[in-house]
Chains A and B, each alone.
Chain A
Amino acid sequence: MALQELREVQPEPLVPPIARAAGRAIVITSGKGGVGKTTTTANVGAALAARGKDVVLVDADVGLRNLDIVLGLENRVRYHLLDVLEKKVELETALIRDKRNERLHLLAAAQSREKEDVDTDAMRALIDRLRAQFEFVLIDCPAGIEMGFKNAIAGAQHAIVVCTPEVAAVRDADRVVGLLPADWRPELIINRLRPALVNKGKMLSVEDVDAILRLPLLGVIADEPAVIVSTNRGEPLALDPSSKTGAAYRAIAARLAGEDVPLPVPRPEPRLLAKLGALFSRSAGGRA
């Protein structure tokens, strides 16, 4: 009885914080290092922004700042994540606007600090704040399963697991999925697939990885030299309309945005003879 009275007296909060935080915070994680978390974050973020979504990318890899490089924004970093968490600067001051798309933003990692310096509660509060402002908050998680990982997943509600078709990467992906909150349903991106090797039985296939991890497949990215070239230049491949891999990133963005697009699976490049044949038939057709 007394409890009921108490409830009636309790005033409603004026602005419920959850209702305001409408955006989705998605952590991009893998366990293993070097499988392409940062490249994935940059490309999916750029593709989402190109679709007209307001996006912020948070580099949670404190001490190893990389996301700015992949995006070509390394010269614009003045303040970083820890400056914001420790209230040294305003969030708006630390956010870096992308030079190609004003909807895309970056919150860079601190380079000369350590992952243990991040306060988990402050991180959670920051992600909540970003969700109120952006439709997509993509958090680039550091490798490993220690404090950096725990801080990176703190404010997220969803995870994308990046995995290459290798024994060690699949094992680590499996471990990381076990460490995520039980009610999450992480989605899988298989990165660096080499279709020709899969055909020869020399690489785990999409089906192999799928059968083991049993996660909803969000996308498959081929191991293509163009990814390295785009990273060299600091221009996300997702923005290259002629690139097949760019299209695969754009398909991932479309699916994240709720669009039901088919999942493009990379196929092996045609062999030299087939290429010559195609060239011949094309030029023959041109003459006719």
Chain B
Amino acid sequence: MVMFDFFKSLFRKEGSSATAKERLRLVLLSDHLSLAPHVVEALKSDLLAVLSRYVEIDAALADVTFEQREHEVAMLASVPILRLRDEAALALPDASLPEMDSPASPEAVPAGAVETTAEPVAKPAPSEPERSGANGSSSRRRRRRKAAKKGQVLALAAASSGPPAQGLPLASHP
């Protein structure tokens, strides 16, 4: 196996420049969002916390990625949904939101710079249907978008990993 890796590294076309490119992509991403890495982590965990209030998710398989586009940075979250929660268990949106003084909220987007634009919602990453399995038969995606400063788009795509066994049916979302 070690031998195989050795030969693979010998004949691989992609050298360390691919690593450089990926590191550069990630570092510029957080530069552009003006978010420190720990803030990005906090954002991620808050995001999952909010989601799990409505649906049971597999946090271990949750994947939050960023993508550089022509004029903005998009955040794509792929979160496997295990099942939906009962209606009775659903909390009202303003009842138990995470505290607003969490580190992600104030620095992330300056209040004065927030603006909502009428751009179409960002498409989910092409790899998502494969990841959601079963040809994405009953996978439905909820997308939420926050337009941030300078056209940076936060798009959220949550994909379920299989047919919802019980509980509420997923509402088809535009």
Contact = CB atoms under 8 A, between A and B. Distances in A.
Interface in B49-84: 68
A171 interface: yes
Interface stretch (A43-51, A59-67, A199-207): A199-207
B2 interface: no
A205 B68 CA distance: 18
Nearest to A208: B21
Contacts of A208: 17, 20-21
A167 interface: yes
Interface string B14-26: 1111101101110
A175 B17 contact: no
A166 interface: yes
A170 B24 contact: yes
A201 B13 contact: yes
Nearest to B14: A201
Contacts of B18: 201
B16 A202 contact: yes
B27 interface: yes
A114 B24 CA distance: 33
A166 to B, nearest CB: 7
A193 to B, nearest CB: 12
B24 A171 contact: yes
Contacts of A202: 15-17
A171 B31 contact: yes
B111 interface: no
Contact of B20 (A167, A175, A200): A167
B74 to A, nearest CB: 16
A126 interface: no
A201 B31 contact: no
Contacts of A223: none
Interface in A180-226: 198, 200-205, 208, 212
Given A201-B14, A201-B15, A202-B15, A171 B27 contact: yes
B125 interface: no
B47 interface: no
A205 B17 CA distance: 8
Contacts of A203: 17, 20
Contacts of B23: 167
Given A166-B20, A167-B23, A208-B21, A200 B15 contact: yes
A212 B15 contact: no
B159 to A, nearest CB: 28
Interface in B118-171: none
Contacts of A83: none
Nearest to A166: B20
A200 B11 CA distance: 10
Interface string A163-181: 0001100110011000000
Interface of A: 166-167, 170-171, 174-175, 198, 200-205, 208, 212
Given A167-B24, A208-B20, 7 more contacts: A167-B27, A170-B28, A201-B15, A202-B16, A203-B17, A205-B17, A208-B17
